């Protein structure tokens, strides 16, 4: 565990500077208007040039499956946008009225993610809000069919409770929480979704994006209040 934490801490050094570099790499390597080429460029950057805290291709397949199950016109809430990887991944699977509302606190990330989403040709399907999640949630309009949690891990439970209180879920809404493996100390969140009686929840073992470090996703289906 200690070695894994040290490896993760090392990978995260300088992470605040990566969105701008990742944007430049996408513009140089990907094809404008082709979301899949954008995702491939971001994966290549993360694997060969600088670690990115995206959901990544492995857990990204699980997230894509959740979007497909939610439906092409699903309304999706994302907390934590970073470079826009998961917003692109999800929005490319939507049609018609399907939309992603993404909340991101970092101005640097908002700028880079907005340009990456635009470069992908998906700006009409993605709205990025520059805000702290706790401030944004009460003003959102629901319900959302899918909620993707990928921001500060110690906010997962607090923000999910705020989402519930704001009436942003319907019975059957899915909560996909990334990075709930042992390195992230997610016990408070996991205890909540498994013990509050409002969710049917499952834990899917995986790895931290672009590494072999142990990680997991928790996928929880809202039963209703």
Structure tokens at 63: 């997230």
Q: What is the arithmetic mean of pLDDT over 107-129?
A: 98
State yes or no: is 153 an active-site residue: yes
pLDDT for 225 equals: 77
State yes or no: is 48 an active-site residue: no
Which residues touch 35 (CB under 8 Å, ≥6 apart)? 88, 89, 91, 92, 120, 121, 122
Query: Does residue 5 carry a pLDDT above 60?
Result: no
pLDDT for 13 equals: 73
State yes or no: is 54 an active-site residue: no
State yes or no: is 178 an active-site residue: yes
Residue pLDDT, tens place only, 172-212: 999 999 999 998 988 999 999 999 999 999 999 999 999 99
Q: What is the arithmetic mean of pLDDT over 68-88?
A: 98
Domain range spanning residue 65?
A: 2-222
Residue pLDDT, tens place only, 146-174: 999 999 999 999 999 999 999 999 999 99
Q: What is the arithmetic mean of pLDDT over 16-43?
A: 96
Name the domain count of the chain: 1
User: Which is catalytic among the residues 150, 159, 215, 218?
Assistant: 150
The contacts found for 127-131 with CB under 8 angstroms, 24 or more apart, are: 127/99, 127/100, 127/101, 127/102, 128/81, 128/84, 128/87, 128/102, 128/103, 128/104, 129/101, 129/102, 129/103, 129/104, 130/104, 130/105, 131/103, 131/104, 131/105
User: Which is catalytic among the residues 104, 145, 209, 218?
Assistant: 209
User: Which is catalytic among the residues 43, 178, 215, 218?
Assistant: 178
pLDDT for 114 equals: 98
Are 133 and 147 contacting, i.e. CB atoms less than 8 angstroms apart? Answer: no
Backbone φ and ψ for 79, nearest 5 degrees, come out as -110, 110
Query: pTM score, two decimals?
Result: 0.95
Query: Does residue 42 carry a pLDDT above 90?
Result: yes
Query: Does residue 113 carry a pLDDT above 90?
Result: yes
Look up the CATH number of the domain holding residue 53.
3.40.50.150
Angle, helices 18-29/107-120, rounded to nearest 10 degrees: 10
State yes or no: is 159 an active-site residue: no
User: Which is catalytic among the residues 54, 78, 105, 179?
Assistant: 179
Q: How confident is the model at residue 6 (pLDDT cuts 50, 70, 90)?
A: low
Are 88 and 115 contacting, i.e. CB atoms less than 8 angstroms apart? Answer: no
User: Which is catalytic among the residues 104, 153, 159, 218?
Assistant: 153
């Amino acid at each position: 565990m200690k070695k894994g934490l040290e490896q993760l801490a090392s990978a995260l050094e300088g992470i605040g500077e990566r969105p701008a570099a990742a944007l430049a790499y996408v513009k140089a390597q990907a094809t404008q208007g082709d979301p899949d080429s954008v995702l491939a460029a971001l994966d290549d950057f993360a694997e060969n040039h600088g670690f990115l805290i995206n959901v990544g291709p492995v857990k990204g397949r699980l997230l894509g499956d959740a979007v497909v199950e939610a439906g092409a016109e699903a309304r999706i809430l994302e907390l934590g946008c970073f470079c826009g990887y998961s917003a692109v991944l999800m929005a490319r699977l939507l049609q018609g009225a399907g939309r992603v509302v993404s909340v991101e606190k970092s101005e640097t990330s908002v700028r880079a993610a907005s340009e990456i989403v635009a470069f992908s040709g998906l700006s009409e399907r993605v709205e990025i809000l520059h805000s702290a999640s706790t401030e944004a949630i009460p003003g959102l309009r629901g319900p959302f069919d899918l909620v993707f949690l990928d921001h500060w891990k110690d906010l997962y439970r607090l923000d999910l409770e705020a989402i519930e209180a704001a009436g942003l879920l319907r019975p059957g809404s899915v909560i996909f929480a990334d990075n709930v493996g042992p390195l992230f100390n997610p016990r408070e969140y996991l205890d909540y979704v498994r013990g509050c009686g409002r969710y049917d929840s499952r834990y899917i073992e995986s790895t931290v994006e672009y590494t072999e470090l142990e990680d997991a996703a928790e996928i929880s289906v809202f039963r209703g209040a």
